[in-house]
Structure 1
Amino acid sequence: MSDEILEMEEFTRSRGIVVPETVRTELPLLLQRLSREPLGEDGDDPDGHSPRGSRRGRAANMDWVADNLPLALKVHQDLRLAIAPATPGTIRASSLRHNPILTMIGGAGLVALVVLLGIKALAGTDPDAPDQLVSAVLRLCGAGLGATLFAFWTARNYLRDGTFRPEYNQQYLVRFVVGILSGFILGEIVGGYQPLADVAGSYGVLGIALVGGFSAEAVVQILQRIADILVAAVRGSDWERARADAEAESSRRLTEAAAQLQDAMNESDEHARDTALHDIATRLRQG
């Protein structure tokens, strides 16, 4: 609890949050009491004069807790109300020192940047460097930079306000991986996808991969569009299928009407023939 109180107090000072007057008066007293070392868990005082596990040592510890706990709880509650909607947990998670997922994402982005700069330098000094390898590394680094940028751009307000919720760390990690895959795939297919060929010529494979890493949703839509084109090429579009079905149905009805007409013309009874012809004409008009 003492660590949370200190973190909340530091957060209020760094953000300029006004705390109640009671906190300003009680917090120094609480910090002064907390700075006085109680007897150890085994009953030893700081000088080691009390026997280990002695009744006197345990009683002293209980007295120390009883004297400081009510004040600590009160200060803790007042600080929680002052920093809301932030909490001690979100304040800790909003610090990169205590957020391994965002730290890892940021480290991966820095590694991608360093590798990218190294590849650029190598490609400039070694004209014989394999183009395919350089292009693949460029796509991978661009996708990593885009995914890293998206993660920190999304989290920036939460980190600033101290409201980053640690339970969302897994989603940030999944989105980072998806961004890398999306950026790399987009950089790979962009050359063969005509609507993006001009964009690739203007911004290069690196720029396309970076955009793909930043906006995985756009890559999913592009892939879905390509899939729709492939499916339409194999089995035709919905409109073409509907037209073919309509033509088949019209042909069937015309064939049926022709057969009925032939039967009516062969009818020897004039009245029956006229009735049959009238029925055929009625059915043709009704579609």
Structure 2
Amino acid sequence: MATTSKASATTKTDPEQTAATTTTDAAKKTSATYGISDEVKGKMSEEINEMLSFAVYNGITINTDVVSLIQNCSVDNLVNAHNMLCKNVAPATPKSIAYTRKLRENTDKKTLFSKLPLVRNLIILSLVFLATFIITGSSEDVNNTSLDLGVMNNHGRSLLLNLAYLSSIAGLGVLFYLLKNVSASVKNGNLVPEDTIYYIALIVLGVISGLIMSEILHFYTKDPESINLFNKSVLALIGGFSSDAIFTVLQGLIDRLKAIFAPSNSQ
């Protein structure tokens, strides 16, 4: 009988232990779900250290309040220190600083030309557009007369060479802008991996806008005969260099037309 009572007591305590264990696990899950995880805190501390290292290495003045904040590992202090350092190292960001450091660490044995693939690719594209410009510009089919014909009246090999000539000028214009922009980004430490995709799209937009400026948006001063080799080349160069501005202008025109033909229903 005594053995039976002990067994029943043990059986009764098992559900209690199970309930306590379940409650503890639920509390852990709740804290991990609704609170700031240790992984986020560690990432924040890592970014703070990287920004401090970047600021010290580049001689950037740091807010001295950061020192007292990082000594206490509370979430509020880490967030405040992170915000202060982001303002101190701007226009660089924690993401760009980590990306630049990764490039520097992984390319110690590489040549200077291959350390930054984005800059290397832009330089290669610039040489390609420059070679295309020289080859097409020296052709007999590219002249004032053939350019005056435009897309609608020209045809065949002459049309292809003229479009290649204008596209190469537009490409040189957009690459002139991008190389200057990339140089500033490398100097300021705000280069990020997404810039590669952005610059590829901008090159395509630059070539398209250059062709639009030189072939579609003709600025006639007197008559169509006044458009010559120099005028179209300048328009293609400006279109490539200011592709963002051309897109903004066209988008503004579309928005105005939509506002005219589809007015809002506000009363």
Structure with more contact order per residue of length (Cα contacts < 8 Å, sep ≥ 6): 2
Structure 1 length normalisation: TM-score?
0.43
Which has the larger Rg?
Answer: 1
